[in-house]
Structures are given as structure tokens and as C-alpha cells.
Amino acid sequence: MMAIETSGRIDKVNGNELSYEEFVERYMEKNQPVVLTGLMDDWKACSDWVDENGQPNLRFFSTHFGKSKVQVADCNTREFTDQKRVEMSVSEFIDQWCKEAVQERGVTSNNGDIDKSVLYLKDWHFVKEYPNYAAYSTPHFVCDDWLNLYLDSYRMHRDPDSYQEKDEISCSDYRFVYMGAKGSWTPLHADVFRSYSWSANVCGKKQWFLLPPSQSHLVFDRNMKACIYNIFDDNISENLFPGFKKVNMIPGVQPLLLLWLEYISFLHVHVFIIMQATWLECTQEQNEIIFVPSGWYHQVHNLEDTVSINHNWFNSYNLCWVLDLMARDYNEAKEYIEDIRDICDDFEGLCQRNLAANTGMNFYDFFIFLARFALANLVVLDNLARDTENVAGSLSPMVQQLAHNLASIKNIVLKMKSLECFSGDQGFVLDLGETHKDPKFSNLCYSLVQTCGSIHKQQISRLCTKTIDTHDSRSSTIIQNFCDGVSSPQDLVTFIDTVSTERAKSEAPE
């Protein structure tokens, strides 16, 4: 096994001694990983899913959830850029796990050879499948989760042809359970949408190897297309991956270089410098939660039999990472089919369909997502401002958060103005007035209110939630008066500014 160099450390912090504002400032805004402790003591999963010996309670899973169909990876078989996966029931997976444990994870074949396959249950949509089984509560540090709040009410894809029921990348949510025996692992990758992720060890122990975004080019080939699969592979080609095994920079130079690389990473410029990838290594114990920021490539190994809960998510602090990934994937998809542009009736539409298939959403999907979230933030802001049951000024942290959300959405939307899909007449119009009347939108607003209350540990009065449910708010009239339809990023920016201005006028004393 090839050795890699690790340096630095990942903070390990008691979550009960950390405020939400400190978490945002130290880790979310700075895009830095952290391990949080002390946040899982009251989780049902930590009692039901763990036996008296501290091991995964496989009998409980088989008895209560055995019929569920799940994706199981064979950790010793590569298929393209991931591990080979098969579908089986939870009971079948448990039976195989127990059989491998008895045979010391080696199954004797007919010819006497030992098949040392290790199976790893991944991406089990447990919350969607068992909504009434409260296995855990999402810690308030990581509950500002726009992705899953949205998917609880809407499909991600505007085009129904882009959605397939069993298409993993078009899935119904990004809340997962993982289960694997000692020795199971996940290859090197950065998370879907370049989202944040958090992973909670219900039992067992994981070893994480993380690479900051400023060094991610070192695990790609010269064309920035192929990524290293396993960082411990002895046969990684220096010709294909020239940066991976190179010598280190002079110690005094490297910190300055890393700062510069962070800057050019933000500018999305590919610069190749002879330096060695330097990893952060972390051992995650039972009842610990790791926060993995956007764009950090990571490889994870289970050091013990392990059960974990994992979420992918994004919010106002990492929208730029989502747009950046989509822009790069779009350019690749467009370049790949450029030679058929002249004979294609709807070349841009084809590019968007390919982008949705490859990335999980396209620019239209993302724009609609941002528009609905902007509208939800405006509605909730209006309702909080009118909520006479709350003491004046007591909701200021929530109001500040909602205002920050809107500013972040505007910033991202303005960056989308130059996209080809929004140039000219694309026949795309989103009626926010109709959106506002939709019961699914009321559900999104209600979830946003509850999330803000959870983050800032504030109670929201029944008046506020009632006005959301009935649309009995000034924003309802304003929206109807100022929203004929949104068909471009500039339309959305104008709409946000108009509604915000009108709301401010209505709140001003006469």
C-alpha cells in the first residue's frame, strides 16, 4: 500500500459548547471541516441500532426493515468510477454480512479459492421510506438544508422526462443510512452538487482522508477529466496523475502557495505546480459527527463494523460551489456534442437534458429552485414582521438570516445572467403567483420557518404559521401585483428588489 502524507488536524469540538454563529464563522463560511461531539445522546438510532456489545444490531435491522430494497456496493470490484453495486433487500444484505463474519469475510468458492468481497450498504433513503420512525434529529448546526427542504415538496427536475423513479442522481432526498463491515470503504470523491455533507457514526469507527479544494487538481489527470480512484493504490500512474506523488514544496513557501491556490481555485483556473497532495486525516469515533465542506475530496474507510447517517445539503453559504460545478459540467456536455449543433433543432435543450442526467439538475432546475426559495424567504420575512405575538426585536437573528439568504440568492442569480439558456426567447416562464397559491409551497414556507426557529432556538407563534397556510399576508397582494412571470435571472432580481421595497414601504410609519 502506497503511503500518503498527512498534515494538520481537523478540529474536534463539543457541539454543546459551540454556538451556531461560531459554527458558521469558523467552519461553514471558511469551508473547513470539523468533528462535532455530544449531539447524538438522545437519538433513537443510538439505542435501537446498537446491541449491548456496541456492535450494529443486525437482528433489529432485519426484523424491522428487512424488506427494504437497497443499493449494496462490492468494495473490491470497481465499475467505472465507483464500486459495483447490486440491489438486494436489507435482510439479504444482513444474511450475507453475517455469513462473511462467520467465514472471516471470505467465502470459499467451488474451486477452493477465497472471495474476499466486502459489501457496503450505501445511500439508503431511510427517512423517506420510514417517515414515522424518528431515528434521529438533525443537529441545528446543519439543519439549514435547502436541498432536502425543497425535495420534501418538489421534484428537482422541471422536465418530467429527466426524472426516472430509480435514477439515483434524481433521487427523492439526500438523507441516507450507510452500513458496512470492517474493511468496507468509499473511493475518493467530492460530494454530489459539491454540497456540504455531514456524517454521524451511530456505531463503529471511520478513518477519513480529506484533501482541500486548493489541491484537488493534484488527484486529476493532466486534462482534469479522470480522478484517482483509490489513494492507496500502488499502481497510480505518474504519467496520468503527475501531481500526486511529486516532492513537497519548500516548507516556507508552501503556506503562501496554498493561499494563492485557494484564490485561483475560486477563479476556476487550472494551474499545475510540482507539489505533493497533502491530506488531512481524521478518525471518527462512535457518536461523533463530521462536517465535510464543499469541494473537499475524501476517501473513507470503516475501521470497525459501522452504521452511519449521512446528509448532503446546501444553503446560502455554498450556492457558488453548486453553480460552479454545473457550469463546468455544462461546458463538458456542450463540448462533447458540439459537432451536432448545426443539425440539432434544440441544441441548448439537449445540453440541458444532458446536464440534468449527468449532474442531477440543469440550469433551469437550479433557477426554479432559487426562485421558489427566494419567494419563500420573502413570504416568511413578511409573516415574521407582522407577527404581533413575538416581542419586537426578538426575531432579529432570524430576520438577518432570511435577508442573508435573499442576498446570496441574488448574487448567484446575477452570475447566471450570461448563461446561454437564458438568452433570447427560450419559452421559459415561471409564474410565482401560481407558485404562491400551491399547497406544496406552503409546506416549503412552513419548513423554512421551523428550520429558522430550530437554528436560532426560537419559538414561532401560531399566527405566523397560520398566515403562511392561508396566504393572509401583505406579500400575497404584492406578489400578485408585481409578478407577471419570471423568465430570466434579471426578472428574478427585479422581483426580489420590488417585493422587498414595497414591503419596506408598507412597514414605514406614516
Beta bridge partners of 288: 37
What are the DSSP calls for 225-246, one per residue? --B-S-TT-TT--TTTSTTTSP
Looking up cell 438533525 gives 138
- pTM score: 0.90
- Over the stretch 332-354, which tens digit does the pLDDT of each residue have? 999 999 999 999 999 999 999 99
Burial class (CB in 10 A: 0-12, 13-18, 19+), 299: buried
- Over the stretch 410-438, which tens digit does the pLDDT of each residue have? 999 999 999 989 887 666 788 888 888 89
Average pLDDT, the chain: 86
Q: From CA 171, how far away is CA 26, in angstroms rounded?
A: 31
Q: How confident is the model at residue 394 (pLDDT cuts 50, 70, 90)?
A: low
Average pLDDT over residues 377-405: 77
CA dihedral for 426, 432, 438, 441, sign (positive or negative): positive
- Over the stretch 89-117, which tens digit does the pLDDT of each residue have? 999 999 999 988 776 644 444 444 445 68
Which amino acid appears at position 71 of this protein? Q
Q: Say if residues 37 and 288 touch (Cβ distance below 8 Å).
A: yes
What are the DSSP calls for 411-457, one per residue? HHHHHTTT-GGGSS-----B-HHHHHH-HHHHHHHHHHHHHHHHHTT
CA angle 182, 187, 190 (to 5 degrees): 130
Please write down the HEC assignment for all residues of 485-506. CECCHHHHHHHHHHHHHHHHHH
Question: Looking at per-residue confidence, does 168 or 297 come out higher?
Answer: 297
C-alpha separations of 348 from 324, 325, 370, 375, 417 in Å: 19, 18, 21, 27, 16
Residue 301: other Cβ atoms inside 10 A: 19
Average pLDDT over residues 286-306: 98
pLDDT of residue 105: 47
Order across the sheet with 119-124: list the strands: 11-14, 34-37, 288-292, 196-203, 306-313, 175-180, 119-124, 69-79, 82-89
Contacts of 273 (CB under 8 A, 6+ apart): 243, 249, 257, 261
Q: How confident is the model at residue 474 (pLDDT cuts 50, 70, 90)?
A: low
Residue 150 dihedral angles phi and psi, to the nearest 5°: -65, -45
Q: Which helix (H) or strand (E) holds 388?
A: none
Q: Give the cell for residue 251.
A: 516548507
Residue 303 dihedral angles phi and psi, to the nearest 5°: -80, -15
pLDDT of residue 8: 77
Q: What's the Rg (C-alpha) of the chain? A: 24
Q: Which helix (H) or strand (E) holds 100?
A: helix 90-102
Strands 297-302 and 175-180: unpaired
Q: Say if residues 253 and 160 touch (Cβ distance below 8 Å).
A: no
Q: From CA 312, how far away is CA 275, in angstroms rounded?
A: 31
Strands 206-211 and 278-284: antiparallel
Q: From CA 494, how far away is CA 483, in angstroms rounded?
A: 10
Q: From CA 293, how far away is CA 430, in angstroms rounded?
A: 32
- Least confident interval from 107-116, 156-165, 166-175, 185-194: 107-116
- Judged against a pLDDT cut of 60, whether residue 119 lies above it is answered with yes
Average pLDDT over residues 162-167: 48
- Judged against a pLDDT cut of 80, whether residue 129 lies above it is answered with yes
Q: From CA 473, how far away is CA 488, in angstroms rounded?
A: 26
